[in-house]
Amino acid sequence: MKKKNDERISNVKQNDNKANKDYAKVNSGVFVFTKSITVGELAKKLEVNASDIIKKLFMQGKMVNINQYLDDDAIGEICLEYGFDFKKEEIVDEVDFEKINIEDDAKDLVERPPVVTIMGHVDHGKTTLIDAIRNSNLAGEEFGGISQEIGAYQKICKNKKITFIDTPGHEAFSAMRMRGASVTDIVVLVVAADDGVMPQTIEAIDHAKAAKVPIIVAINKMDMPGADPEKVINELMKYDIIAEKYGGENIVCEISAKKKQGIDELLEAILVQAEMLELKANPKRYAIGTVLEANLDKGEGPKATLLVQNGTLTSNDYIVCGTSFGKVRRMTNEHNQILKEALPSTPVSVIGLSEVPLAGDRFMAFPTEKQAKDIASKRQLKKLEEERAANNGVTSLDDLYNKIHEGTLSQINIVLKTDSTGSAEACKASLEKLGNDQVKINVIRAASGGITESDILLAKASGAIIYGFNVRPTAVVRKKAEEDKVEIRLHRIIYALIEEVEDAINGLTKKEEVEHVLGQAEVRNIFKVSKVGTVAGSYVIDGEMHRDALCRVIRDGVVVYEGKIETLKRFKDDAKTVASGFECGIKVENFNDVHEGDIIENYELREKE
């Protein structure tokens, strides 16, 4: 085993920091640099006098000295002035191993199993399908079974392996992609034949499309009396999921997970799609892949489920996972069987890490413990710096104009939630017309219903702004958006929403009134009081409720009434404010149709530039 380990190629070590060996050089009339340099260094590389460079910059109104660092624009201007082209190269070293583009030798590449995620609406049969696939392995095959120790498993079909990730929810899928992890090759979209396309079906389609992953449709519950696969196929066409038999690119399989019918055909369809993708990897190099899940085991310490995406991971390898490192002390498969090596597309559980990594973290194996420890330390330091910068790449409306005109933004991603399907379609059509030659508006989700945590995850993963029309986020969702630095913009008038995006594109600013949410209360009881009307016995779940403040009544995430708080009481006494965690009685002015479970949100308007 040791000899085999030594024979593996340490691609990172061979490719690391080529740019660092010479951070500035002239190559065939092109000045190549990787970082800012001083006037003196530039003069030396171009073989000209530093005083001449200083004089040229002075004529442009720039006062510099020989030891002053020049920005990229100034370096470019000087190079062109002396007849040189210029090019800046980004330094990528082994600390950022996930960014290194390693070109494997073609003769070392071999076919690897596809990695598949199953997604779809709740109760459409995702879990039943997963169980059916696992149980079909019980007929003496090598992999599978129902006793799963880790959140991924492999299935053999026609002597070829297929790797399934046991995270069918689109939220887990999005959370992985949000951290830069592209682990899924194919998505299987499960749709019930007797139910059709539902909200979570649409969300799953949005996530798969955003990740640019091919979709295979599995129309489940074909054994049910009301099964209508043609209806499902027609509904999916609205979302650009077109079956092959109608000239599209999506494979459609009719199955019954409960009766275990059509499972083999589905697996064969996955292999056909995988063959079209030409999935290959190099097993003759140190492993690189992604953390699927991790936890702290009381007896074994940090434990992580890894998906090897390229190379071969062996026991006793030294690995870096995110900012943690360690030696693979034990590596097991889904049956808790100890493995000595794991080839590409193999999911394994490992122990031996210094701390618990995060799902979506990238990992890589290295030849020595010293190298792994050093890289992990540098990654930890870099992570702290990035957290201080607090820049997650999520766009806010206020800086769209600058990014567009700096040329760093060519597309605005928007998640759109409205009170009805008709409003969603109207808003989407109007927004997409706003695009111009410089920037394109991309509505990655347009759906009816309240703003949810799934919308926040999708927005963060795609760098999108969330727009709500006549809908409101709950306190929990708003807090999640603040933590993830996702901007939510809320409107009651469609043309105001459209104008806001148009103004951002055109760089217009104006004074506007911005809502500041004061608090939210959940209606627990309803009291009918003669000569007064309906009083909502409520519990303040966030912030404070203020008497005489503007308010809205929200039902299932949708605004049903807007007005003002007429009366606010604590027991029998009038109150000006009621804080979070306390009960109160609320009478909404001119509104008596309050239901248990409604959310009463009060707010004030503040002027903002």
Q: What pLDDT score was predicted for residue 151?
A: 66
pLDDT at 522: 94
The residue segments making up the domain with residue 70 are: 21-91
Q: Domain ends where: 58, 91, 124?
A: 91
Look at residues 281, 298, 325 and tell me which one is the last residue of a structural domain. Answer: 281
Give the tens place of pLDDT for each residue, 254-278.
999 889 899 999 999 999 999 999 9
**Which of residues 103 and 44 earns the better pLDDT score?**
44
Same domain, 440 and 379: no
- Residue 118 included in any domain: yes
Cα 407 from Cα 314, distance rounded (Å): 45
Q: How many other CB atoms are found less than 10 A from the CB of residue 192? A: 22
State how far the Cα of 55 lies from the Cα of 70, in Å rounded to an integer.
Answer: 14
Domain shared by 309 and 188, yes or no? no
Same domain, 263 and 126: yes
Q: Is the pLDDT of residue 34 over 80?
A: no
**Spatial distance between the Cα atoms of 145 and 164, rounded to a whole number of angstroms:** 13
Read off φ and ψ for residue 601, nearest 5 degrees. -115, 125
Say whether both 29 and 57 belong to one domain.
yes
Interval 475-496 mean pLDDT: 85
Average pLDDT, the chain: 81
311 with 253, same domain?
no
* Residues near 211 by beta carbon (within 8 Å), at least 6 away in sequence: 173, 177, 182, 184
Q: Is residue 10 part of a domain?
A: no
Same domain, 226 and 365: no
Beta strand segments in 324-372, E: 324-332, 341-342, 346-353, 362-366
| Dist CA 76 CA 53 (whole Å) | 12
Domain assignment of residue 96, yes or no = no
Question: Per the structure block, which two tokens stand in for 120?
Answer: 């779809």
Percent of the chain, pLDDT > 90? 31
pTM strictly above 0.75: no
pLDDT score recorded for residue 578: 93
Q: Final residue of a domain: which of 91, 121, 145?
A: 91
Give a yes or no: residue 500 inside a domain: yes
Which residue did the predictor score with more confidence, 190 or 447?
190
Q: Does some domain include residue 2?
A: no
Q: How far is it, in rounded angstroms, from Cα 330 to Cα 318?
A: 12
Q: What are φ and ψ of residue 475, in 5° steps?
A: -60, -40
User: Do 360 and 378 sit in the same domain of this protein?
Assistant: yes
Residue 482 reports pLDDT greater than 70: yes
Q: pLDDT tens digit string along 197-213?
A: 988 888 888 888 888 89
User: Token pair 């109760």 is at which residue?
Assistant: 123
Digit-coded pLDDT (tens) for 232-254:
999 999 999 999 999 999 999 99
Return d(Cα 57, Cα 540) in angstroms, integer: 63
What's the CATH code of the domain at 586? 2.40.30.10
What is the predicted pLDDT for the residue at 57? 85
Assess whether 87 and 171 both reside in one domain.
Answer: no
pLDDT given for residue 395 in this prediction:
55
Residues 125 and 271 in one domain: yes
Q: Say yes or no: 314 and 186 in one domain.
A: no
Contact status, residue 408 vs residue 463, Cβ threshold 8 Å = no
Q: State whether residue 192 is helix, strand or coil.
A: strand
Q: How many CB atoms lie within 10 A of CB 431?
A: 21
Task: Decide if 331 is inside a domain.
Answer: yes
Residues 182, 269 within the same domain: yes
Angle at 445 between CA 461 and CA 449, to 5 degrees: 110
The domain tally of the chain equals 5
| Residue 5 resides in a domain | no
More confident of the two residues 181 and 131:
131
Answer yes or no: do 126 and 211 share one domain: yes
Structural domain includes residue 379: yes
Give the pLDDT confidence of 348-403 residue by residue, as tens digits: 999 999 888 877 788 999 888 988 888 888 888 777 665 554 444 445 666 565 66
Higher-pLDDT residue of 17 and 584 is 584
Q: Are 185 and 244 in contact (CB under 8 A)?
A: no
